[in-house]
Amino acid sequence: MSGSETTLRVAIIGAGNIAERVHASFYHASPDTELVGVCDNRPEQAQTFANKYGCAAFDDVDTMLSTLRPDVVSVCSPNRFHYQHVLAALAAGCHVMCEKPPAMTPQEADDMRQAARKAGRLLAYDFHHRFALDVQLLREQVAAGTLGEVYVTNARALRRCGVPGWGVFTNKALQGGGPLIDIGIHMLDAALFVLGFPAVKCVTAHSFQKLGTTKNSGQFGAWDPASYTVEDALFATLEFHNGGILRLETSFALNIPEQSIMNVQFCGDKAGGTLFPAHIYHDEAGELVTLMQRDAADDLRHFRSMTAFVDAVKGSPVALADAEQGYQIQRLVQAIYDAAEQGVTVAL
């Protein structure tokens, strides 16, 4: 990319839900970008999407990349294809914004970070929650010592009955897993970001498949229980080298009273903090005292994540959820699945 006055030409791979809701809407509205093409293995889906956004439609990634030669590519295909699509876009000289999770395995995420380094291109992942102002506030205050030593963190990405009724989210071969790799990974990323990515010593976990294979509909539509091959609930504990622990609870379906919970609590020896909305508090003689608070959770996190990526491509020194951190998160996801599936403590 040459200068900040240049409009970035963008292409999208995977013309589904997130491509439309976040990526195309952002690129279409931004004065810094022009959406020039979209690729989907379902030609009709690509064409409908292209008609809506006034861009070219393709059903083959390599043809789109060689025909359009975009500056930037958003990878919004199912998890199984992130690896090949990111590598193809990097090989074509593009900067890449890839949807989460980075890939299916740590080996793939490692190859992807090395490919980005070798190509001299940015590879960012859309861990958008960390771009919420709430997360930024908690990160600043944890780094400044307001909470003291944070020794217990509770991250929760729970749905009572929220199995996705679209896409391939219940198919382990195409998705890599269930709620952990889909929504738990978001709160894991946000928690680690706030904590400053402390080194993990070991992981234990338990996963369950109780409701996804017996129920067939919920708040996000219907699914086929006979082809439900991912976990529906998972509970993990990460032990850090600094002595602290992070407990992660995540579910697509679990008999809890709330319809959904996406939040993280940090417990320090000086104060505690809740992420959404940001709230920092401590106890004075048995009374809860608020030290800092945002009135409502920031709902512009996707917009901020995309803006940060485009600004970084244009040369601004902004922090991204980068290929290195993507690899670290993917290693943890794998360790959690290994711990749950093998019933062992996994050391890192």
Ligand X SMILES: NC(=O)c1ccc[n+]([C@@H]2O[C@H](COP(=O)([O-])OP(=O)(O)OC[C@H]3O[C@@H](n4cnc5c(N)ncnc54)[C@H](O)[C@@H]3O)[C@@H](O)[C@H]2O)c1
Provide the binding-site residues for ligand X, judged by CB under 6 A: 13-19, 39-42, 45, 76-79, 81, 99-100, 126, 128, 166-167, 182
Among residues 239, 237, 240, 241, which one has the least CA distance to residue 250?
237
Minimum distance between the CB of residue 189 and ligand X, rounded to whole angstroms? 10
- Distance of closest approach, residue 128 Cβ to ligand X, in angstroms: 5
Rounded least distance, CB 182 to ligand X, Å: 6
Q: Which is nearer to ligand X, 4 or 17 (CB)?
A: 17
Q: What gap in Å lies between CA 18 and CA 14, rounded to an integer?
A: 9
- DSSP for 41-102 reads SSHHHHHHHHHHHT-EEES-HHHHHHHH--SEEEE-S-GGGHHHHHHHHHHTT-EEEEPSS-
Give yes or no for a contact between 83 and 327, defined as CB atoms under 8 angstroms apart.
Answer: no
CB of 131 to ligand X, least distance (A): 11
Spatial contact of 154 and 275, defined as CB atoms under 8 Å apart: no
Nearer to ligand X, 108 or 282 (CB): 108
Residues in the chain: 348
Tell me the closest approach of the beta carbon of residue 159 to ligand X, in angstroms. Answer: 13
Distance of CA 177 to the CA centre of its chain: 14
Q: Characterise 273 by phi-psi region: left (phi > 0), alpha (psi -120 to 50), beta (else).
A: beta
Query: Of the two residues 174 and 348, which places its CB atom closer to ligand X in the complex?
Result: 174
- What 3-state DSSP class applies to 112? helix
- Name which of 107 and 204 has its Cβ closer to ligand X: 107
Residues 83 and 111 sit within 8 Å (Cβ to Cβ): yes
Identity of the residue, 100 or 282, whose beta carbon is nearer to ligand X in the bound complex: 100
CB of 269 to ligand X, least distance (A): 33
Of residues 195, 193, 203, the one with CA closest to residue 321: 193
**Residue with Cβ nearer ligand X (79 or 170):** 79
**3-state SS class at 280:** strand
Nearer to ligand X, 8 or 18 (CB): 18
SS3 329: helix
Cβ-based nearer residue to ligand X, 174 or 292: 174
Quote the CA–CA distance of 180 and 189 in Å, as a whole number.
Answer: 11
Q: Tokens at residue 271, please?
A: 């104060």
- Least distance from ligand X to the Cβ atom of residue 168, Å: 6
Query: Cβ 22 to ligand X, closest distance in Å?
Result: 7
